[in-house]
Structure 1
Amino acid sequence: MQSAPEPIPDGGTKAWVQVLCSWIILANSWGLVNSFGMYQTYYENGLLSNTTSSAISWIGSLQGALLLILAPVSGTLYDAGYFRPLLLAGLFLIIFGQFITSFATSYWQILLSQGICIGLGCGLAYVPSTAILSQYFQRRRALVIGIASTGSPVIGIVFPIIFGKLQPALGFPWATRLIALILSVISVIPAAAMRPRIKQKADIRSFIDGSAIRDPAFALVVVGSFFVYLTLYVAFFYIQLFGIKHHITSIDSSSYLLMLLNAGSIPGRVAPNYLADRLGALRIQLSVTTISAVVMFAWLGVRNLGGLIVFALLYGLFSGGVVSVTPCLIVALSLQPEKIGTRMGMVFFVMGFAVLAGTPIAGAILGSGDGDSWTSTIAYGGGSMMMGAVAYTGAIFMSWNR
């Protein structure tokens, strides 16, 4: 006779330690993606000044894309019980990639170390560290995922400050190495304390859940997420360059714009998830996506520092909600808990190609950043996100018939 599964604790010391560990993993992964704008600006004006903006953005895009594209592998292996190997391998690659970036002197060296190596590490660690929270929380699941996801904007604030202060004084290599040291120190906690509550069978299934493909609501969420993530990070990559090109900020002070984006994102990671537990993740995702698109279009009217600060805070707030509600959306549409990792992998895989292509497309539209190219770039950003909102609207209607 098979014993009944233990109830999900929905709290307790061990459960909240897992939230802390997840916070650190998201800081180490999405936090590096969110703060790539500091490197984008530095590379364009220093180390890679002869390289186009679009080519440089491929480094950060590849980092974020691999984080998502590897999700089918990491999600399926997580479901099969390989949480610890995924976690430890991911942490090692993130730290190693950041460290060897400090020795890079050419575009291809940086692409391999910062784009590919860090991206691979993020891709192995991200999905398992998010999915594991569903083993410890049920009633407040969306809220704790939101709390954990604040790790990325916090790091998105801290790292630009560190890099901005240390790079002029110590140079690019040592500023980058010190960031690698910080990553190493905080990674000790999840490496030591993060453990799954349920021992899963070492049974590797398909990377694709066929029932998800046949679910119209889920399929529309995949389509919507592609269009949203295609341009979600355009502002994070190019807001500093916007301030410099429009003579609103200097090169030195432009890093504060990226910090404001990430600061706005902190409450945006928690409040929408709190509402998602009560009103439904799909409705909240539609709301924050639509508002993010509207704020993106409002960027067209920014002409001074005050306007740019307001834009950064508002876009950070609502785009942060988009990012933190996305995993909750997948969990809510996954009726079988043992397939959550696989379904996350499917959605994130599609989103990964969007992230990979989205900001380089924006960079190609932008060109040198002079003239009317900003209008076209911003319109591309807002338009794609609005298309995602339309798909989410369709998903809501389809979910009523599930």
Structure 2
Amino acid sequence: MVVFIGAKMTSRGWISLDRVKQKAQAQVPAPVVWPPALAPEGDGLCHTVKLNLAQVDKAQEEGIDIDQQRRCITRAAMAEHEMAKVRHAAAGKQHESQRGEQARIEQVVEQQIASGEITLQNLMQARAGKATRIATALLPAAHMPVRSMPEPPSRLFVPMSYQSGDLKLKAFVTPDPGDGRKQPLMVWLTGGDTNSLDDFWSEGPATNDQSASAFRKAGMAMLFPTLRGGNDNPGQREYFWGEVQDVAAAILQAAQLPYVDPARIYLGGHSTGATLALLTATAGLPVQGVFAFGPVDEVSGYGWPVKWDLISPDERRLRSPMHWLHAIKSPTWIIEGSKSPGNINSLDNMCAARKSNKLHCVSVQGADHFSVLQPLTRKLAGQLVMGLPVQLKRDEQL
């Protein structure tokens, strides 16, 4: 009796399952008939017969215009679609040809480098004997009013002076903890007006924390330099030219602090600060690591406050990291969020360029130009303060 009831229940289960399958099959839409049937040759307007709704959706996916009144693909729309496919195929072939030619050029250049026929320069070697003409290309927005130096809490940062050429400039550094130990140091270049500082110590929200405070909270010393023309500093802004010298000078000065470990100095920055950090890396400055959050490959991508087409292509090139990545000697990471807003295209361009094997690219999935900062600086701070190797993936997940 028990067996019989069990069999009966099982049979009902089969019937029920069969009904579910039939219902599911009934709900599956019929496959789209594509391409649609052709209209009679005598129809001067329509290329196809009247489309059903599924075919309308398919046509829209293909980018083909539909006559709304007769709900058909017109002969003109079909002709344009076919021409577009031909153009796309031709463009693809041209792109492949260009990539092949570029690869051949790169191979020849690499062979010449290996044989000593070509000697690659770093950024400062290439700039030797040249002066910037940026003053002739400045827009009115470049002439900023003088801003006084910020006054951070003394428990967090104290003033430090440094000499860059004939300019005496100012910076802010973590005070001496007085414990006799040498600390790793993060030199951080802020975004926006990188030459100046305002409130750089206050932590921002998780979606836009530009303070880089994760490093000092983890136990690292930090240095925030102001640069020529910034705040009440002497000199004029040179927009990625003399500022490279300023950053290098600030680092060399900080390396002499008794509580800083000169073998564990790192350079980081965000946005314009990241571009400057990357340029400094290409100048051959020996630091332990460089972390550039959201730099650009070409400075002409910045729409302010320079009219870049008024200076020579060579001078623009000498400001753009893209052309000097081969000269990087220190481990360097370009980091950017994969979402808009951001400079992910610049990251991709630089990763595809000829570059040093010390350069690493990190696209952070689910983050943008600003939200990438807090989680990644926290992750890096934990690794650096412990003296661990940096562990970041090409496609990093938050």
TM-score interval, normalised by the smaller of the two chains: under 0.3
With a CA cutoff of 8 Å and minimum separation of 6, indicate the structure with the bigger relative contact order.
Answer: 1
What TM-score do you get using the length of structure 1 for normalisation? 0.24
Q: Based on CA coordinates, which of the two structures has the bigger radius of gyration?
A: 2
Choose between structure 1 and 2: higher strand proportion. 2
What TM-score do you get using the length of structure 2 for normalisation? 0.25
